[in-house]
A and B are shown apart, each in its own frame.
Chain A
């Protein structure tokens, strides 16, 4: 049973396009983190959102935590080839403190 569902699983777009990745769950999380992972490397933390409804911006990336703290989205504006990678969302469970990962979204941005 996948506690965190990411969609889409694969995304191939042209440079300059916008995109949104979704991370959904029926469970409430105390916080949610977004990571980016390149092939053969470990995940690199991009952002942590904690408060329901919170919006954080990191250059062309906008992260939002759902009001009920069950879902999150990542929006990339004017995607560039350097954005290519695996994007992972991970929710921190209130009970037990375990970090639960989604299955990832593989993004390919073509020049």
Chain B
């Protein structure tokens, strides 16, 4: 069964450093999502791509976060500089189409900023 791949699974970084996460969606899925999940809360959407275009980045802190999906397949989410409050689980999800198709999540990257 196809799955969403994410790496790394765990990342520890010092504040003010740069950090990057990678996501490879299920093959053929046009829509890709990045979510942030703080411990004890549900995921919150950071950015959504349709193919290589950003559909929604209204909740992305653009002063320090950036996301790209250059060829409309895999995607990278970057934080620079990292802050203590960025410690969270970063989840990637994909769906075949937008907006009604079901989203399938990857295993996530657990980020700890010290």
Given contacts A42-B105, A42-B108, A43-B91, contact A92 B42 (CB under 8 A): no
Q: List 9 A-B contacts (CB under 8 A).
A: A31-B100, A40-B108, A42-B4, A42-B6, A92-B100, A96-B56, A97-B98, A99-B45, A101-B43
Q: Are B110 and A40 in contact (CB under 8 A)?
A: yes
A93 to B44, CA, bound (A): 14
Q: Are A41 and B108 in contact (CB under 8 A)?
A: yes
Contacts of A42 in B (CB 8 A): 4, 6, 91, 93, 105-108
For chain A, the bracket of interface size reads: 20 to 34
Contacts of B105 in A (CB 8 A): 35, 42-45
Contacts of A31 in B (CB 8 A): 100
Contacts of B110 in A (CB 8 A): 40
**Nearest CB in chain A: distance from B1 CB, A:** 12
A33 to B56, CA, bound (A): 21
Contacts of A90 in B (CB 8 A): 42
